[in-house]
């Protein structure tokens, strides 16, 4: 009898260990207590079970997600004195078996603090408990109308939510609900975002360094207000020089830059491996001819000079560069809206990208027209932007020692032909962190950056896009496997799979000279891991640019 008794006891012990917290609480509001959110009060909780939930595809942004089963918990909270009402929505995989023991906070995009369903769906499909927030305002990626009160004064409370506050609130709420629902804390917690979501990830690392175990932040809008002002630079150059260059012409120059610099990484693959080494000069094409709208156009010195100045990026009349430029080979169609007329003249149209200046700086002034903006007006608005709004919406503080000391990891990637946010902004930030915290090798212990040649904003382009960077971050956080490369892939025009291993910054890709150029095994990473000389303290990002 003694041996069977021991076996029964052993089986019971194993069963208890393998079925620890096997169930969840009911998916209803009464199952949850108000999460503790510093500086905020919970207004209401609503919980609803969702089964077989589908999210349709968003071309170029989201693959279709189907048959999701989760507990949808919506919490509204407010910040006393702010008169705001902020939604934090958390999706919890419906059963304990569907949950991967992890929590994911998700970022926004454009002028939206969060993307709600578009970010929650993929996270839950991957097994995460996940949260998103609207920051207390409309989820509109292209409008900043919510930043103004009815009297056109700035709503600073909503801007604070957008900048940082709602990000921390979302994490507090999401982690609390996850623990309540599954009756255990998430083993690990992560951030996942690109563009605005990338900026938010950096802001979390800087301002709330001990809230998460890992941050995945791609193509970050580190200096968001200044970035939006930089969108106006091409128009200003063309207006002030009196020379309008059409989108067709800009695209031609981009193709010529690719033609000249593609081979510099050792292979003609339709991608410039390291834009920093591309010495393309548009003035070398003066006299050549191209066709736009059926009209033959000859490249003049004036046209070439405009292209050069636009690619230099915002530069003061005294020659100081105040924001990184887009690399040659990058499309300018996002910023330029100029057409070629039947008589060969060009018309400069409003590109519609002056949301920040028109809405926040000028309070929707009817007198404002970006195509008529003067140099004096532009630099006046730029100064106002940095002075009044950088502190609340920027994410470029290089002091990451608290994040480092918390044992957290920051994984970031940026496409080198990003046509919205110049990848150089991320390069420069990384260099500042190195100066602050002991050099490249020391920073690599907790923060690694990967550049994606030929990739546009958060994806697209002809280059290989990171395949599963969040999984790479998890391996770094949970297994201590620091990544030297980042697996990426795309398909070329023929539909063939193209794979690459993106290089850890500052290394760059180089074709090995043999093998299929479409395969990652035919490429290596070149460069040095030696730390650069640490610059004197006190030099700022803006000084450096």
Kindly list the catalytic residues: 195, 418, 457
Please check whether residue 473 is in contact with residue 484, taking contact to mean a CB–CB distance below 8 angstroms: no
What DSSP letter does each residue of 186-227 carry, written as one string?
A: -SEEEEEEETHHHHHHHHHHHHSTTS-SEEEEES--TTHHHH
Q: Please, which residues bridge with residue 321 across strands? A: 315
Summary count for the chain: helices (H), strands (E): 16, 20
In this structure, the number of other CB atoms found within 10 A of the CB of residue 20 comes to: 10
- What distance in Å separates the CA atoms of residue 418 and residue 460, rounded to the nearest whole number? 9
- What distance in Å separates the CA atoms of residue 341 and residue 322, rounded to the nearest whole number? 34
Q: Phi and psi of 464, rounded to 5°? A: -80, 130
Structure tokens, 277: 């080494």
Q: Phi and psi of 253, rounded to 5°? A: -65, -40
- Going by C-alpha positions, the residue among 245, 242, 237, 375 that lies closest to residue 304 is 245
Using N-to-C axis directions, what is the helix angle for 375-393 and 233-241, rounded to 10°? 170
Please identify which residue in the block is written with the tokens 């970035």. 227
CB-count exposure of residue 12 (10 Å: 0-12, 13-18, 19+): exposed
- What distance in Å separates the CA atoms of residue 347 and residue 344, rounded to the nearest whole number? 10
- What distance in Å separates the CA atoms of residue 25 and residue 163, rounded to the nearest whole number? 34
What DSSP letter does each residue of 228-249 carry, written as one string?
A: HHHTTHHHHHHHHHT----HHH
- What distance in Å separates the CA atoms of residue 11 and residue 368, rounded to the nearest whole number? 76
- What distance in Å separates the CA atoms of residue 270 and residue 462, rounded to the nearest whole number? 7
- Exposure b/e, 508-518, CB count within 10 A at least 16 = b: bbbbeeeeebb
- What distance in Å separates the CA atoms of residue 353 and residue 335, rounded to the nearest whole number? 7
Evaluate the CA torsion angle 201, 202, 208, 212 in order and state its sign.
positive
Query: How many C-alpha atoms does 527 have within 13 Å on its Cβ side?
Result: 19
Listed in sequence order, the residues at least 6 apart from 12 whose beta carbon sits closer than 8 Å to its beta carbon are none
Structure tokens, 162: 């957008």
């Amino acid at each position: 009898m003694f041996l069977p008794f021991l076996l029964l006891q052993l089986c019971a012990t194993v069963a208890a260990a393998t079925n620890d917290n096997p169930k969840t609480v009911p998916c209803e509001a009464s199952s949850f207590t108000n999460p503790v959110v510093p500086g905020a009060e919970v207004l209401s909780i609503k919980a609803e079970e969702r089964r077989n939930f589908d999210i349709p595809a968003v071309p170029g942004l989201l693959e279709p997600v189907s048959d999701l089963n989760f507990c949808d918990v919506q919490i509204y909270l407010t910040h006393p004195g702010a008169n705001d009402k902020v939604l934090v929505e958390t999706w919890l995989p419906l059963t304990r078996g569907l949950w991967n023991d992890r929590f994911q906070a998700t970022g926004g995009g454009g002028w939206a603090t969060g993307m709600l369903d578009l970010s929650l769906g993929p996270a839950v499909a991957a097994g995460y408990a996940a949260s998103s927030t609207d920051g207390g305002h409309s989820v509109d990626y292209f409008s900043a109308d919510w930043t103004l009160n009815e009297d056109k004064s700035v709503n600073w409370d909503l801007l604070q939510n957008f900048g940082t506050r709602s990000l921390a609130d979302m994490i507090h709420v999401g982690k609390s609900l996850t623990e309540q629902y599954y009756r255990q804390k998430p083993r690990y917690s992560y951030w996942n975002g690109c563009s605005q979501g990338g900026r938010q990830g950096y802001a979390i690392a800087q301002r709330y360094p001990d809230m998460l175990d890992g941050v995945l932040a791609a193509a970050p809008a580190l200096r968001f207000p200044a970035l939006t002002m930089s969108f106006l630079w091409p128009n200003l150059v063309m207006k002030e020089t009196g020379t309008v260059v059409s989108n067709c012409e800009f695209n031609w120059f981009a193709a010529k830059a690719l033609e000249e610099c593609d081979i510099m990484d050792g292979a003609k693959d339709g991608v410039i491996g390291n834009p920093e080494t591309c010495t393309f000069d548009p003035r070398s094409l003066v006299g050549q001819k191209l066709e736009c709208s059926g009209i033959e156009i000859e490249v003049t010195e004036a046209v070439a000079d405009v292209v050069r100045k636009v690619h230099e990026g915002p530069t003061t009349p005294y020659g100081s560069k105040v924001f990184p430029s887009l690399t040659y080979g990058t499309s300018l169609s996002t910023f330029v809206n100029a057409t070629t007329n039947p008589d060969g003249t060009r018309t400069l149209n409003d590109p519609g990208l002056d949301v920040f200046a028109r809405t926040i700086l000028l309070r929707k002034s009817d007198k404002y027209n970006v195509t008529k903006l003067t140099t004096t007006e532009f630099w006046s608005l730029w100064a106002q932007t940095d002075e009044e709004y950088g502190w609340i919406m920027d994410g470029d503080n290089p002091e990451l020692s608290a994040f480092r000391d918390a044992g957290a990891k920051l994984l970031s990637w940026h496409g080198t032909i990003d046509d919205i946010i110049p990848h150089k902004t991320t390069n420069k930030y990384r260099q500042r962190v190195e100066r602050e915290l002991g050099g490249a090798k020391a920073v690599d212990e907790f923060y690694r950056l990967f550049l994606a040649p030929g990739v546009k904003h958060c994806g697209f382009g002809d280059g290989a896009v990171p395949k599963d960077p969040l999984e790479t971050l998890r391996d770094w956080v949970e297994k201590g496997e620091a990544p030297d490369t980042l697996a990426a892939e795309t398909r070329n025009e023929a539909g063939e799979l193209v794979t690459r291993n993106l290089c850890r910054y500052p290394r760059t890709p180089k074709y090995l000279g043999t093998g299929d150029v479409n395969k990652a095994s035919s490429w290596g990473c070149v460069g040095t891991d030696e730390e650069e000389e640490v610059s004197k303290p006190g030099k700022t990002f803006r000084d450096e640019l």
